[in-house]
A and B are shown apart, each in its own frame.
Chain A
């Protein structure tokens, strides 16, 4: 129990050390701690916001997807309708064209038949005249009886 001036010196040392810590040690560490705490708080808030953004983006994407599907369905239906109409139109056009071709062919055939019939008639008339000539010989003058002969040919 030898108390002496060491006691007083130790008290002064104590205050110097405490003062030093207060000025130069405590503030930087506390600042770092507070800054980190606020950084973590910001990070958590950002994460929460990101989560919300993701949810809203997902719901928006769902809306867009649904809309696109509906629209595609519409387009397909319209296209099908249009295709059916085009087919109908084509069928109609083809039928008209076919009818026209058939009609043309028919009239041509008719014409040809008429021509042939005329030619045949002439030939029959000629044959008849030739036959009659053979039968009548001289008695029939082609020139004299021309009108009669042509009438005959017409009648045949």
Chain B
């Protein structure tokens, strides 16, 4: 994996596992010419699995007695639809399906974290890829990309519901008031609000999954110490953390979906 001839040190191991399969070298904070192939590959793979799986259930959906699988998906759909109904007052024909997609997609992306941390990088290495980082939600590009999508939807629904004039009026006249002196502070605050919503949405998921992934690396290093303590510790800590991580996987996906709905719900209501 790292330099040939000797086993990687702990630091080399972690740094290697945090390295993306990138198109080139990253220059600066935002480099449009660079791209993370592993994040994209696993995002699209999990996305395809989710939508094709949902589609296969939807195609066979019957209004008669549902099978177990259909009942489970219906349960999920009704849960998402119920949440969307209580938060979005207006047309939900895009927002509710979008929330379902986000939830299922994020759950599956997060769930990659439950695979042993060396499996996919080793597999990637065997196929000739120097680095493979399989967890798309532990890449800020992955989570912030979705958050930017949500930001675009927020702006779209603000225009759609309030009209161009209404939205601009709200940008400059809320929350403090419509006095011309307050136009600039109002606009600045609204701008900060939009940016902070987007950044916090993306960062929350990224932070949780990144931290979880890092702890899995450290637990794997414990096992890698090749001592009795390390072996038992790896099994014990790995099991405990993986079980706890099931909660985090679902909870973070749920939070992401709920915040998406809340932000879009706010776009439907004036200040």
Contacts and interface: CB of A to CB of B under 8 A. Distances in A.
Interface of A: 1-11, 13-18, 20-22, 24-36, 39
Contacts of A20: 51, 55, 101
B163 interface: no
B105 interface: yes
Looking at chain B's contact residues, the main secondary structure is: helix
Looking at chain A's contact residues, the main secondary structure is: helix
Contacts of B26: 2, 4
A76 to B, nearest CB: 56
A39 B64 CA distance: 9
Nearest to A15: B149
Given A2-B31, A21-B100, A7 B61 contact: no
Given A4-B35, A26-B96, 19 more contacts: A2-B29, A6-B34, A7-B141, A10-B40, A10-B136, A10-B144, A10-B146, A10-B149, A11-B149, A13-B43, A13-B47, A15-B149, A18-B98, A18-B149, A22-B94, A29-B74, A35-B63, A36-B66, A39-B64
Interface of B: 20, 22, 26, 29-36, 39-40, 43-44, 47, 50-51, 54-55, 57-59, 61-64, 66, 70, 73-74, 77-78, 81, 93-94, 96-98, 100-102, 105, 136, 139-142, 144-146, 148-149, 152
A11 B32 contact: no
A118 B32 CA distance: 168
Contact of B43 (A3, A10, A29): A10
A2 B152 CA distance: 22
Nearest to B145: A10
A121 to B, nearest CB: 120
A38 to B, nearest CB: 8
From A25, A28, A36, residue with most partner B Cβ within 10 Å: A25
Contact of B100 (A4, A16, A25, A34): A25
A131 to B, nearest CB: 132
Contacts of B139: 6
